[in-house]
Amino acid sequence: MKDYREVLKSFESIAGPIKPHAEVLRRYAENLKEWDELLVKVFYDTLFSYGTSASIFREGERTEREVALKMWYRRVVSGEWDESFWEWQFRKVGFAHVIRGIPNEFILSAMSLLQRTFLEKALQEFPVEEAVRVYTAFKHITDAVATLMAAGYMYCYLEALSESTGMPPALIERHAVLLARRIYEEI
Ligand code: HEM
């Protein structure tokens, strides 16, 4: 399994460093934490209104999910991101969704919804320049989390396939290349 630090290093090298965004969010944290109720409501109203994502949840699970997401959001906007924060994103938040069979397209779409809702709220609450600064910081950190979750999902499947078939990951990757080439050349 790839180490989450490697994934983060790639993210920062390509998307840009994370630290400056932590400083921005820290300045606004107390205010931003108050948006938890709204963001979590939009998030779960949407996931529960689409049959395919709604069917993932167990009977009576919504309250528990809302509490977990609020806690996650408040920690994200605190701008306090140490090693334990990143490890939590990769090993707990990411893998909790693999365990429940939630594919990357759901996670990335849900993150996009969260980011857009945050932007709309920021534009209501702050002058445009400030709203853009706060949103850019929120987008960067949540893009980093989404990247860790998506990478963990893929590496978990790769490793599971390797363990169950005895095929080394490099051979599976080779097969994926062949399959991708076939699909690419079909049209
Ligand atoms: C922006 C994307 C998402 C974030 C940030 C997020 C956040 C979280 C967090 C913080 C937890 C608790 C993890 C832990 O055990 O520490 C969790 C669990 C869970 N999430 Fe999400 N989530 C996201 C997307 C989704 C989507 C799209 C679905 C379903 C369609 C979903 C369904 C669940 C379920 C069912 C659990 C419980 C896992 C378990 O059995 O413990 N999440 N999520």
Structural domains in the chain, CATH included, are: 4-186 (1.10.490.10)
Annotate 127-186 with three-state secondary structure. Answer: CHHHHHHHHHHHHHHHHHHHHHHHHHHHHHHHHHHHHHHCCCHHHHHHHHHHHHHHHHHH
d(CA 179, CA 138): 37
Q: By percentage, how much of the chain surpasses pLDDT 90?
A: 98
Distances (CA, A) of 164 to 131, 167, 168: 49, 8, 10
- CA 148 to CA 20: how far, in whole Å? 19
Q: Determine the pLDDT at residue 1.
A: 83
**Distance from the CA of 66 to the center of ligand 1, in angstroms?**
9
Q: Which atom of ligand 1 is nearest to the CA of 57?
A: 35
85 lines ligand 1 (CB under 6 A): no
* Rg from Cα positions in the chain: 18
User: Whose structure tokens read 């909790």?
Assistant: 96
pLDDT digits (tens, 9 = 90+) for 43-79: 999 999 999 999 999 999 999 999 999 999 999 999 9
The reply to whether ligand 1 has any atom less than 6 angstroms from the CB of 48 is no
pLDDT value for 65: 98
Dihedrals phi, psi of 60, to nearest 5 degrees: 75, 15
**Using CA atoms in the order 106, 21, 71, 96, what is the torsion angle rounded to 10 degrees?**
40
Q: How many CA atoms lie within 13 A of 56 on its CB side?
A: 18
Sign of torsion over alpha carbons 107, 36, 123, 131: negative
**pTM confidence score:** 0.96
Predicted confidence at residue 2, as pLDDT, reads 86
d(CA 144, ligand 1 centre) in Å: 16
Q: How many CA within 13 A on the CB side of residue 47?
A: 27
Q: Along the 187 residues of the chain, how does pLDDT read in single tens digits?
A: 889 999 999 999 999 999 999 999 999 999 999 999 999 999 999 999 999 999 999 999 999 999 999 999 999 999 999 999 999 999 999 999 999 999 999 999 999 999 999 999 999 999 999 999 999 999 999 999 999 999 999 999 999 999 999 999 999 999 999 999 999 999 8
